[in-house]
Structure 1
Amino acid sequence: MPTGIDFRLLGPFEVLAGREIVRLAGKRQRLVLAALLLRSNHTVAAHALAAAVWGDSPPATAQRQLHMAVSVLRRTLGRTPSWGELRTEHGGYRLCVADERIDVARFRAAVDTGRQLAAEGRTAEAARVFRDGLALWRGPLLSDLDGPVRDHADWLEEMRLTTAQDCLEYEVAAGAPAAVVEAPAPLHDLLRTYSVGRGRAAPADPVDHYLHSAYAMARIFTPRLARVVLPEPLPGTIVSRGSGYSAAYRWFEVEYPNLIAALDAARAAGPASRRWQLTCAIGGFLDRHGQWADAICLHQSELAVAEASGDTRGRQHLHHGLGLLHKRYQDYPDAERHFDAALDLCRLHEDEGGAADVLTDLAILRVNQGRDRAATELAEASLAYYREHGEPGNQVIALNVLAWCTAQLGDHIGGMTYWQEALRALPAPPH
């Protein structure tokens, strides 16, 4: 997809300009925009738009409120060059925007292409196209919006499920060893169908499979997750393991819809700890994938649950993740608030390794703020732990912070010494 504005409805509702979130003024603007996007490039009658926002009982001032909402949307979206156009037409409004800018339109295009390929007997190609389309889903449609607008798009959820089932059928027929596709509600049924087609028994607990597999993969590119202690896998659980960064990253790209489904299943039943554990693993991938807003939404949701249940271990890891994510947005006050909360909980748990990781990330935050002396003190504290406990990968990170800060403070020879030590500490590449 070309760079520029991106409207995302297949999950939490987001509007992105590049990688920056476009902040909408309030719930009404979000509902109006979502309703217009679901009928993009078509005129939406004012009464239909009011029904999508207020249902069967719109207020007497509905027309005026819609007009104001549209005016605000024009100003907000107009800050992004060449985003499209929001027109007032006779009896309604039309949102004119290129299909490639809307994830719903891209999903429908993938479904149409896949169905055409299947009709031509090219079912293996159809399955690949279906999988790409399903990967656009980040959760239930407009999952963070309440209102009738979601009821007006039930057909999309039905299309999602039908497409997932068709994709699975074509992959099983082709004997492909690919993972199951998706659909939150029928996840276990799809796993069972796939397993029967492959001549294997379905896992007794799909959530356990995804929990342990996600950590085996996520720890490859998010080493701090090695501090999360999981229960032993249940008997019969098969754990997928990656052979390197690329394999682990690709596993998350393919399995992301299933991971969201597993998180939904964990929310419905089982130990509450599995919720935040899955969230942290998924968040590590979303961070690398640039989906920071999605990751923040997941973390905040589970943090509220952990706070209500008194799960201090979950709070520790969720606060740490939120600190990193807010740092990505250069939202330093919120990042620091979450890092401080994580550090307090590390001390409560006497988790020296977790505390060292938070101190390292705080040190990087201080570097970003231009506070090199404060960053040096934090990195020295974390480096002492990493040296004592033989963690060379983490030593390299802390040493690089120290090298930069020392040089910035005028001690170039000292900075070079730290960099040389970092090079020596680098783990040997695999043969």
Structure 2
Amino acid sequence: MEFRLLGSIEAHAGETPIDVGHARQRGVLAALLVDAGEVVRADQLVERVWGARPPQRAQSTLYSYLSRLRRALTTGSGQPLLRRRSGGYLLAIDRLAVDLHLFRHLCAQARSASDDDAASAMLGEALGLWRGTAFADLDTPYFNLQRDATDQERLAAELDRCDIRLRLGHHGELLAELLTRAEAYPLDERATGQFMLALFRSGRVADALAHYRLTRRRLSEELGSDPSMALQQLHERIIAGDPVLNAAGAPAPRARLLVEAPRQLPAPPAVFVGRAWEMAELDRVADTGDVLGIAVIGGTGGIGKTSLALHWAHRNIDRFPAGQLYVDLRGFDPAGNPVPASVALHGFLEALGVAPTEIPADLPSRTALYRSLVAGRRMLVLLDNANSTAQVEPLLPGSPDCMVLVTGRRQFAGLVTAFGARPLALDALPRSEGQELLVHHLGWHRAAREPEAAAALVAHCAGLPLATSIVAARARIQSGLPLAVLAEELGDRSARLDALDADDLNADLRAVFSSSYQALDPDLARMFGLLGDAPGPDISLSAVAELTGQSAARTRVALRRLTAAYLLQEHVAGRYRMHDLVHLYAAERCAHDQPAAVVGSARQRLASFYTGIALAADRLLSPQRTAITMDPARARPSGAPTDAAAAMAWFEAEHRCLLALHREVVEHGRHAEAWQLAWSLDTFQWRRGYLHERVAMLQAAIAATETLANRAALALNHRLLGRAYVPLGQHARALHHLRQATAGYEEAGDADGQAQTQLNLALAWEHVGDYRQALTHAAANLRIRAALGNPAREAEALNALGWYHARVQDYEEAARYCHRALALCREQGYREGEAYTSDSLGYIAYHSGRPAPALRHYLDALRLRRELGDTYEEADTLVHLGDVYRAVGRTADALSAWREALALYEEQHRARQAASVLDKLVEVRAGRVHEETA
């Protein structure tokens, strides 16, 4: 398939156009194509397609458009290209199948090509992709911004191609095009210079000079500025009849500047991708005008700070006709010490023409002379790999005509505060740009031969450009080595940093990280290592305090310092994470530098903290559960949530960390924590539909309780695992574990456990359609519950018995039990039971032919489930609600409810239920079409 954004929004399968719907639906497709191959969140799609004024049911409408696009965009084998992913939607296509991304790819190749003919051809091919105005017919702030940006990219490509064609001597055939562009962009000095040069070479010197005077007047009247130094020099050389300008192959005008200007920039990076936002920010800094423009490019080692600075500097060299100064300050150089400011100034003064014997000896005098020499000159000063504000400050010019780029592994708050520097913190490249970087290094053909291995290499490098470059270098040096071998080597996390060592200080990721680590004081180094050892993808402030045994205040300061050193990122307020490769290095340093006793104590503190809060939070979510025996120290840990909503939010934020902790405690044989964690997560995982994670944890919990010889806990975990197997359709396994639980509870004389197991057995038989057997177990549950004196559990039992009476169509008896259950739930404040019972009563009323009360009960159940955060049961309630809406003729409301249910089912990977809802949606749509046709 091919997709087109550079004009009207289109999709084609070969030569056949694909119907992608009306304008708004095409907008959804365009919003996905801009980030093809990346996950786009639903809220982002709504903002892109509707802007600040979405319709009332924007989410439902969006799901409808996505559903249609999913059906329209399928492979030859029928696989949909539009896929639901955690957090959003993914259009799984090759980015180069989209004309916008192909245009950018061709432009990047052309700009790195050494052959002018080839570069011109590639730019011509890129410009040939345009069919009109980009994102035609789409009018929202997002698409208008995209359109403006792509228009600028198109103009830049046109200008680049004209530069090349002027070098090739094609000035005559370019005159008409250059005249049109100069009139369209009267203040663009690059377009002006190209037109002047073509006129001069065509013998029209008077016209070239007249066009210069016109441009100078326009610049003065509209911008209050004079032409750039480059344009002024071209004007002077035309007046002088400079014969060099007449030569075919002479560079375009913006390349020739003053001979005496220093040119200290190192070569630009051979390969550079992405960073479009950062490049635009640097452009804005360069345009600050009457103040000294300073940009601070920060980030962890290997993130591409120097590459960005050099790439931008070379792309914008004409902005600085008086020259460019550069120094590597070696602030984090694994092979040496930071360069003193006085030494850096000595080099700058020599480059500015000061004889060595005339350079002052002291730092203040050198700084004063340096600032005097650069005053009034439009220069770029690139201070690479800086260590501190104190090192940088003496190197800052005093003139607003200059611009300063600083790179380093600090945040340089002093430069931001005192000099208004603009901070640019680099993050890892997104996967699509990481893929593009690898392909640029390896060549398209080699990457295409092993696409899966190439994708694995990109994933293992985790968006770190240096890591990608090291891997690509190894692949190029060992040209016969399959990429799959490299991918397998990097797939071993314990050896990944070894695989990213090319036996060269400039190509050794461990050495790069080491220079940052060595700059930390001992306490900070200890925290860094312990954070590397901590389980999970991120960590909260309070958890770090427990891990390190420090107060929250001291912990906050230390975290701020690690963040300032770009070894840590506060990705959301109060939560911190490391880049994956930095995390591996931190864990390595922890194992090497920290005593085993220190690490063991930290692990125990963190595990106790997580387990204690999890147990307390679960009590808030499900207070009617029979509590398990807790360590007194965990009864009310510091920082525990205080209500059910906070408990649900805590589980949501910490879920992946708790899963990682559970794997760790299982691996290290900490059996009590293993089963207690599984128990404490059970309610949350059920409500959120994390069914497979729930089963995995409970399987490990059974092994742990068997090891502990804790018969009561073993029976409990058999019951929980049996219940967890039920919604996964694994009936035999469910019955096996529930029978094991029954035997254990009977042996222990645990009536409460026996009752709950009877309820779970009823659920198991319900899922295979044997409602009579389910009714028998529900009745046994109520008999036991009635004697135990637990009103909440008795209400639960009453509802279950009523529900199963309803399933055997005994609606009168069902209603009697469920109304008793509802009254008891409300009396006890048992909201979860009230939600289940309201749902049961909705079912009973609907199947008894009473839609009005059915609607009321289902709406009550939906409200309660949303308050509880029970998205798993919410999906089912939405389906039932849609059925009632349809029965009473409220088709639009039915469709809305079903679409919401479908989104939840897809998010929870409940394929069977999702297919059932899709059938309902298709059926209603077909009925509507039939009615309209009739």
Q: Does the C-alpha gap of structure 1 residues 367 and 309 become closer, same or farther in structure 2, counting only changes over 3 Å?
A: same
Q: What is the number of residues matched between the two proteins?
A: 299
State the shift of 1:214 in Å.
Answer: 0.6
CA distance in 1, matches of 2:719, 2:637: 29
1:213 alignment partner in structure 2: 613
2:450 alignment partner in structure 1: none
Q: Does the C-alpha gap of structure 1 residues 303 and 238 become closer, same or farther in structure 2, counting only changes over 3 Å?
A: same
Task: Write the deviation string for residues 385-416 of structure 1: whole angstroms up to 9, x where unpaired.
Answer: 33333333322322122112224445432222
Task: Write the deviation string for residues 254-312 of structure 1: whole angstroms up to 9, x where unpaired.
Answer: 12233234434534668522211112223432232222122222222332343355333
Could you tell me whether the CA contact under 8 Å between 2:705 and 2:713 is conserved in 1?
A: yes
1:342 alignment partner in structure 2: 741
2:386 alignment partner in structure 1: none
State the shift of 1:319 in Å.
Answer: 1.6
Q: Does the C-alpha gap of structure 1 residues 335 and 400 become closer, same or farther in structure 2, counting only changes over 3 Å?
A: same
2:491 alignment partner in structure 1: 153
Task: Write the deviation string for residues 167-204 of structure 1: whole angstroms up to 9, x where unpaired.
Answer: xxxxxxxxxxxxx9994199886644594452589997
2:699 alignment partner in structure 1: 300
State the shift of 1:121 in Å.
Answer: 5.3
State the shift of 1:360 in Å.
Answer: 0.8
Q: Does the C-alpha gap of structure 1 residues 311 and 370 become closer, same or farther in structure 2, counting only changes over 3 Å?
A: same
2:483 is the alignment partner of 1:82: no
CA distance in 1, matches of 2:785, 2:532: 40
2:723 is the alignment partner of 1:320: no
Which one of 655, 670, 684 corresponds to residue 256 of structure 1? 655
2:548 is the alignment partner of 1:198: no
2:824 is the alignment partner of 1:425: yes
1:278 alignment partner in structure 2: 677
Could you tell me whether the CA contact under 8 Å between 2:610 and 2:658 is conserved in 1?
A: yes
TM norm structure 1:
0.55
Which one of 638, 650, 674 corresponds to residue 238 of structure 1? 638
Could you tell me whether the CA contact under 8 Å between 2:725 and 2:734 is conserved in 1?
A: yes
State the shift of 1:367 in Å.
Answer: 2.5
State the shift of 1:424 in Å.
Answer: 1.2
2:728 is the alignment partner of 1:390: no
1:367 alignment partner in structure 2: 766
Q: Percent identity?
A: 21
Letter in 1 for 2:638: I
Letter in 1 for 2:606: P
1:288 alignment partner in structure 2: 687
CA distance in 2, matches of 1:79, 1:219: 49
CA distance in 1, matches of 2:811, 2:777: 19
Could you tell me whether the CA contact under 8 Å between 1:359 and 1:382 is conserved in 2?
A: yes
1:377 alignment partner in structure 2: 776
Letter in 1 for 2:823: R
Letter in 2 for 1:241: P
Could you tell me whether the CA contact under 8 Å between 1:83 and 1:97 is conserved in 2?
A: yes
- SS of structure 2 residue aligned to 1:229: coil
Q: Does the C-alpha gap of structure 1 residues 241 and 390 become closer, same or farther in structure 2, counting only changes over 3 Å?
A: farther
State the shift of 1:314 in Å.
Answer: 3.3
2:432 alignment partner in structure 1: none
TM norm structure 2:
0.28
Could you tell me whether the CA contact under 8 Å between 1:183 and 1:261 is conserved in 2?
A: no
CA distance in 2, matches of 1:410, 1:366: 17
The CA RMSD over aligned residues, in Å, is: 5.0
Could you tell me whether the CA contact under 8 Å between 2:798 and 2:818 is conserved in 1?
A: yes
Unmatched runs of 5 consecutive residues or more in structure 2: 1-36, 39-74, 84-90, 95-273, 279-297, 304-409, 412-421, 428-459, 461-484, 498-512, 514-530, 557-601, 832-934
CA distance in 2, matches of 1:394, 1:416: 18
Could you tell me whether the CA contact under 8 Å between 1:403 and 1:417 is conserved in 2?
A: yes
CA distance in 1, matches of 2:796, 2:830: 17
Letter in 1 for 2:800: V
Q: Does the C-alpha gap of structure 1 residues 213 and 334 become closer, same or farther in structure 2, counting only changes over 3 Å?
A: same
Could you tell me whether the CA contact under 8 Å between 2:745 and 2:753 is conserved in 1?
A: yes
State the shift of 1:340 in Å.
Answer: 1.1
CA distance in 1, matches of 2:687, 2:782: 24
1:66 alignment partner in structure 2: none
1:31 alignment partner in structure 2: none
Q: Does the C-alpha gap of structure 1 residues 408 and 298 become closer, same or farther in structure 2, counting only changes over 3 Å?
A: closer
**Structure having the higher Rg:** 2
2:17 alignment partner in structure 1: none
CA distance in 2, matches of 1:190, 1:151: 35
Could you tell me whether the CA contact under 8 Å between 1:277 and 1:314 is conserved in 2?
A: no
Unmatched runs of 5 consecutive residues or more in structure 1: 1-39, 42-76, 86-95, 100-108, 127-140, 142-146, 163-179
CA distance in 2, matches of 1:122, 1:383: 64
Could you tell me whether the CA contact under 8 Å between 2:795 and 2:822 is conserved in 1?
A: yes
Q: Does the C-alpha gap of structure 1 residues 281 and 149 become closer, same or farther in structure 2, counting only changes over 3 Å?
A: farther
